[in-house]
Amino acid sequence: MKKIAVTIAIPDDLDFSALQLERDPVTHALAFTWGPIRRICEASGLDVALMEHEDNVSGLIVAWYAEHRRSGGAADLVAEQILAEVLAEDAFGAYRVQSGPGSKH
């Protein structure tokens, strides 16, 4: 598989919180508002259909959140959880990482 780098443009008036990230506590499914994703794709010259693939939209959200935090943006608990999972998957392999908040013992 060939990978290419893509520059993503985030409109100046678009805040990360506009995604309204949520996560189902049982299934761990991620929910968000698609409007901001569409705006980013339009500003970046990308077909929004590319974001129908879970890895693509997840990668965009993680990259946007990282930039949001670097720029002094407020923490988002759902995004923090996703970022921790991505880092753990990179370190230990996806099959060894359970998504979600974990258990409370």
Could you give the CA distance from residue 57 to residue 63 in angstroms, rounded to a whole number?
Answer: 10
Per-residue model confidence (pLDDT) at position 27: 87
> 61 versus 91: which is more confidently predicted?
61
Per-residue model confidence (pLDDT) at position 82: 86
Residue 23, helix vs strand vs coil: strand
Per-residue model confidence (pLDDT) at position 103: 41
pTM strictly above 0.85: no
For 71, counting Cβ atoms within 10 Å of its Cβ (0-12 exposed, 13-18 middle, 19+ buried), the class is: exposed
Could you give the CA distance from residue 26 to residue 10 in angstroms, rounded to a whole number?
Answer: 32
